[in-house]
Chain A
Amino acid sequence: MTAWLRHHLQSLQQTLARFAGSPFASIANMVVLGVVLALPLGGYALLANLQTYAGSLPTEPQISIFLSPSWRAEDSALEAQLRSAPGVQAVRFVPRDAALAGLKRVPGLGDVITSLRENPLPDAFVVTLGSADAETAARLEAQFRALPGISIVQVDSAWVRRIDSLLKIARTAVLMLGVLLGFALIAVTFNTIRLQILTQREEIEVSKLVGATDAYVRRPFYHEGVLLGVGGGLAALGIVQGALLLFNTDLARLGPIFGVLPVLRLVSLPDASAVLVFAGLLGWLGSYLSVSRHLLTVQPH
């Protein structure tokens, strides 16, 4: 047990010494891995921010009901019917004149509206629903459509759902990118370890001749693979956090102009740890595959 631990420490020491011996090559490798990993990680961080932003938007859906011209405001039966439908929280009547007045206030539209000879807008009800679930909205939409005197029923939450599904697609894309670039990380460590084995042929050969076990010979390469992966993960975190901070200073400058101040959140500590662990695992896997494939060719002769 202590011998095993000592092996590991010695091997780790050796690996670190090797890194220190050619710091530029090692750092270059880690930067390459960092850039590779920064793409999915950055995508993930942006998505997480978008999701929080989307989550802060009002999600309780509204249903706009546009009435046919034959409907008269004195007919209060419809409003009562809307109010009594299960799931409805509030009902607001928007007379056609008020709607037109609203449009007139939209910059650029005012002139167009004033030039109209008569009001083309219908009277409308805006129904606010109690819950945000899509099923209730769909049920009420169908129910309202069947009522007399109604020309158009429009669920205004549709765009929220559209953003939601867009985010889902983006999430899948980031996941795919992550998987692909994970393979790239494995490939890079595989190749790095292959070169390392080639340059250390003699050492490996002599070690075996003086009684080194296979495990002993393999160990420094595993350590190197894990270190490469973790180093790459650190570089990726550095790149992404740096980019987010830069964006934030830009956003802070834009904030006063738009009156909003969305601040991007950095990659959280648990997420960052997960990235490092994952990158380390991939590095180990790359070195494992490489060692299994290439160490057999190094035999004493």
Chain B
Amino acid sequence: MTQPIISLSGVTKRYPGGREALTGVSFQIEPGEFVFLTGRSGAGKSTLFRLIAAIERPSSGSVLVAGQNVGSLSARGVPFLRRNLGLVFQDQKLLFDRSVFDNVMLPLLVTGQPYRDSARRARAALDKVGLLDRERANPVALSGGEQQRLCIARAVVNRPSILIADEPTSNLDAEYADIIMGMFRSFNQVGVTVLIATHDRHSLEQGRVVALDHGRVAA
């Protein structure tokens, strides 16, 4: 049996306000899996992502990513964990003070890769999501669906082994949602482990589903 690439056991997260967002969550994801994380608003999906990306630390229990305990990772170790993750955020976190191209360049530049190589890879990523002709535009000028695709391009440009997307198809019509799901499938086909949070029932046909209900894993 292969080692799970993501492994949660007994994870509880209590925010400073005292509210428990996750309670005793345990599940594992094997390398190369395609997993949907579902649950109603407030079920704890984003919280779970934040734990995996070391944006938050679990109150108890352990979060392992590629065998590494994320909860006890040192501040120095965090950037190197994140370089191995492709993150699509629910609130996008695009930078509007620079072009589409420069947004995609950011993950490459922070790792100190040569500019020329980076530029080539950024263009390849933009090409994959169909935004190459918009590289000079400001993200403000993009439609909602284009912005989502830009987020995906930024998440995959570093060729991460794990892609984590928080509601990447929210506020999009079904057609756009299908296009974006198709992109995730193609990344999965080349070996990337994909974890997608969604409450969009209709795109769940293929893939394993982990359902969260009030911070617990539902049956």
Given contacts A7-B112, A206-B106, contact A211 B89 (CB under 8 A): no
Digit string of B96-117 for contact with A (CB within 8 Å is 1, else 0)? 0100000000110111111100
Bound CA span A208–B82, Å: 9
Partner of A216, one of B110, B114, B154: B110
Contacting pair A203 B95 (CB below 8 A): yes
Q: Give Cα A205–Cα B114 distance, bound, in whole angstroms.
A: 23
Give chain B interface residues in 82-100, CB to chain A under 8 Å.
Answer: 82-83, 87, 89, 93, 95, 97
How many of chain B's residues have a CB under 8 angstroms from any CB in A? Answer: 24
Known A210-B154, A212-B79: A10·B95 in contact at CB below 8 Å: no
- For B55, the chain A residues whose CB sits under 8 A away are 209, 300-301
- B79 & A206 in contact (Cβ 8 Å cutoff): no
- The listed residue (B76, B83, B97) touching A211 by CB distance below 8 A is B83
Tell me whether B158 is interfacial, beta carbon within 8 Å. Answer: yes
Q: Which residue on chain B has the smallest CB distance to residue A13?
A: B115
Q: Which of B39-95 contact A (CB under 8 A)?
A: 53, 55, 75-76, 79-80, 82-83, 87, 89, 93, 95
- The reply to whether the CB of A260 lies closer than 8 angstroms to some CB of chain B is no
**A10 neighbours in B (Cβ, 8 Å):** 109, 115
Say yes or no for A207: interface residue by CB 8 A criterion.
yes
Q: How far is the CA of A99 from the CA of B57 in the complex (A)?
A: 96
Residue of B whose beta carbon sits closest to that of A208: B79
Known: A202-B95, A300-B55, A301-B55. Contact between A207 and B75, CB under 8 A? no
- Residue from B87, B110, B113, B115 with most neighbouring chain A CB atoms (10 Å): B110
Residues of B within 8 A of A207 (CB): 106, 110
A257 surroundings in chain B (CB, below 8 A): none
CB nearest to A6 among chain B residues:
B112
Secondary structure at the B interface, as helix, strand, loop or mixed, is loop
Q: Which 3 A-B pairs have the closest CB atoms?
A: A3-B112, A211-B83, A212-B110
Contacts of B110 in A (CB 8 A): 207, 210-213, 216
Asked if residues B87 and A210 are in contact (CB atoms below 8 Å), the reply is yes
Given A7-B112, A206-B93; 12 other pairs, CB 8 A cutoff: A3-B112, A6-B112, A207-B106, A207-B110, A209-B82, A209-B89, A210-B82, A210-B83, A211-B80, A211-B107, A214-B79, A216-B79
CA distance A224 to B53 in the complex (A): 30
A4 within 8 A of B: yes
Residues of B within 8 A of A209 (CB): 53, 55, 82, 87, 89, 93
Alpha-carbon distance A3/B89, docked complex (angstroms): 28
Say whether B83 contacts A206, CB under 8 Å.
no
Number of interface residues of A (CB under 8 A): 20
User: Which residues of the partner chain B approach A214 to less than 8 Å between Cβ atoms?
Assistant: 75-76, 79
Q: What would be 16 A-B contacts, judged by CB atoms less than 8 Å apart?
A: A3-B112, A6-B114, A202-B95, A203-B95, A203-B97, A206-B106, A207-B110, A209-B55, A209-B89, A210-B83, A210-B87, A210-B154, A210-B158, A211-B83, A212-B110, A214-B79
Those of A196-242 within 8 Å (CB) of chain B: 202-203, 205-214, 216
Which B residues are CB-close (under 8 A) to A4?
A: 112
Asked if B106 contacts A210 (CB within 8 A), the reply is yes
Interface residues of A in 121-136 (CB under 8 A from B): none
| Nearest chain A CB to B120 CB, angstrom units | 16
**CB nearest neighbor in B for A14:** B109
Instruction: For the complex, give the distance between the alpha carbons of A208 and B80 in Å.
Output: 10
Q: What's the Cα separation between A9 and B59 when bound, in Å?
A: 41
Most chain B C-beta atoms within 10 Å of own C-beta, residue among A10, A206, A211, A216? A211
Contact B112 A211 (CB under 8 A): no
> Which of B75, B76, B109, B114 has the most chain A CB within a 10 Å cutoff?
B109
- Which residues of the partner chain B approach A203 to less than 8 Å between Cβ atoms? 95, 97
**What residues of B have a CB within 8 angstroms of the CB of A205 in the complex?**
93
Chain B residue at minimum C-beta to C-beta distance from A10: B109
Residue of B nearest to A207 (CB): B110
**Minimum Cβ distance to chain B for residue A123 (Å):** 88
Chain B residue at smallest Cβ distance from A3? B112
Tell me the smallest distance from the CB of B111 to a CB of chain A, in Å. Answer: 6
Contact of A211 with B95 in the complex, beta carbons under 8 Å: no
B158 x A211 contact (CB < 8 A)? yes
Expressed in whole angstroms, the Cα–Cα distance for A208 and B55 within the complex equals: 10
Task: Give Cα A88 to B111, complex, Å.
Answer: 78
Nearest to B85 among chain A residues (CB) is A211
